Structure formats: structure tokens, C-alpha cells
Chain A
Amino acid sequence: QKEVEQDPGPLSVPEGAIVSLNCTYSNSAFQYFMWYRQYSRKGPELLMYTYSSGNKEDGRFTAQVDKSSKYISLFIRDSQPSDSATYLCAMGVLAGTALIFGKGTTLSVSS
């Protein structure tokens, strides 16, 4: 079993839809959770991070962590064509250095 699992999609939604992106993980030592966004032919960029279970909001984006289920989610409200990208989850141990990334979910938002 891989440490981090992420459905690669692709996921296609109309503009304005609510998008849910998810990752599951197996290592209970993970304490730091991130979502990166990667546009085509670009490097990943950090979108959001959270340390604990619960929700964290930033504008149209909400990151959710459920440590008991080893499940993290990213919700995008009122999705825009500019949100079309690959979204990668990443996680790590607080005292560690290396991040483990999911394979990424490709999202396409049509206008």
C-alpha cells in the first residue's frame, strides 16, 4: 500500500461548481498536510497547509483533515476556469524533512 493515495482523475466540472479533491494516507505519524497546485508546464506551488484535524479556510478554498480516518480533502467553491490545474496533496512528519506527495488530481473547469 502506498503511503499516500490520490485519485488522478481527470475531474471535469462546469464553472461555479463545488469541487472536492481527496487523499488518503497510511502513516499515522503524518502531522503536516499541504495542498499544492501545479499548472501545466510549471512547478508546483503551495496552496494551503494545515497541522491538525478540522477545517481551514482561505477564500474559496477549504482544507479538511480527518486524522482518525487518515483522509484529507480540498474543497474549491465557485470554481473558475483559472482553477484548472493538477492538485497534489503532500504530507510529512513535523520533525522530519521529506514530504510525501500524492500523484495529483487533474481538474478541468469549463466556462
Chain B
Amino acid sequence: DSGVTQTPKHLITATGQRVTLRCSPRSGDLSVYWYQQSLDQGLQFLIQYYNGEERAKGNILERFSAQQFPDLHSELNLSSLELGDSALYFCASSVGGGTTDTQYFGPGTRLTVL
């Protein structure tokens, strides 16, 4: 168990809908990362927050947004969902925000868009 929790574990929804994925980092970790994992694209970095502020952006679509709250938990909002958004979404956390800080991954949320 990495200490990172993600809810829900599974989510099934329809095209055009909006969902929110939630992540609680390990105790003491200030940085939260969001990743999307699909069979064809692999693990893709979406966005990183450090102590409430956006630190880095990756391949995140405009339909997706995220935030990190004062208690350091984070939410990833996915809107106008398309079939191609079906994937595993992972949250990771680390103490610092640099490349060399070990990232601890949560168990993921499996999103299915029908």
C-alpha cells in the first residue's frame, strides 16, 4: 500500500458527461501528479500541483481540469467525456516537486465511457 488513496475505483458513465476523480496524497507529501494510462498511449503525465499551486502541465486536454485543495487532496475533473477518455487515471504524490522526488502511485480509477 503506497499510502495514496483514490476514489472511486471504478466509474462508468456516458459520453458528454462530467466526472470528478479524487486523490488523497501520502501524509506529508506536498506534490500531487495526475496520469492517464491507456493501452495505446501508455502512462501519460497530465498535470502536477505543489502545495496548492499548479507546477507543471503535460498532455492535459482543455476539457480536463484539476485543483489541489488546502488540505492537499486533489481532484481531477473530466468534462464532455468522449469514448477515447476511457482509461486508468492514476494519482501520485511526492514530498517535493522535483524530478528526483520519488512518486508514490495510488491504485487508480478505471473510467469507462459508454
A interface residues, Cβ below 8 angstroms from B? 32, 41-46, 49, 88, 92-104
Contact = CB atoms under 8 A, between A and B. Distances in A.
8 tightest A-B contacts by CB? Answer: A43-B105, A103-B42, A92-B99, A101-B43, A97-B56, A98-B45, A44-B105, A98-B56
Given A43-B90, A44-B90, A94 B99 contact: yes
Main secondary structure of the interface of A (DSSP, over half): loop
Interface of B: 2, 4, 41-45, 48, 55-56, 58, 90, 92, 97-100, 102-108
A32 B44 CA distance: 18
Interface of chain B: mostly helix, strand, loop or mixed: loop
18 contacts: A32-B99, A32-B100, A43-B4, A43-B90, A43-B105, A43-B107, A44-B43, A46-B102, A49-B102, A93-B99, A97-B55, A97-B56, A97-B97, A98-B56, A100-B45, A101-B42, A101-B45, A103-B41
B41 to A, nearest CB: 8
Contacts of A104: 42-43
A99 B105 contact: no
A43 B41 CA distance: 16
A45 B2 contact: yes
Nearest to B43: A101
A53 B57 CA distance: 29
User: Which residue among B43, B56, B108 has the maximum number of chain A CB atoms within 10 Å of its CB?
Assistant: B43
A42 B110 CA distance: 11
A43 B106 CA distance: 6
Contact of A98 (B41, B48, B90): B48
Contacts of A42: 107-108
A45 B56 contact: no
A43 B55 CA distance: 22
A87 B44 CA distance: 15
Contacts of A49: 100, 102
A96 B45 contact: no
A97 B98 contact: yes
Contacts of A102: 42
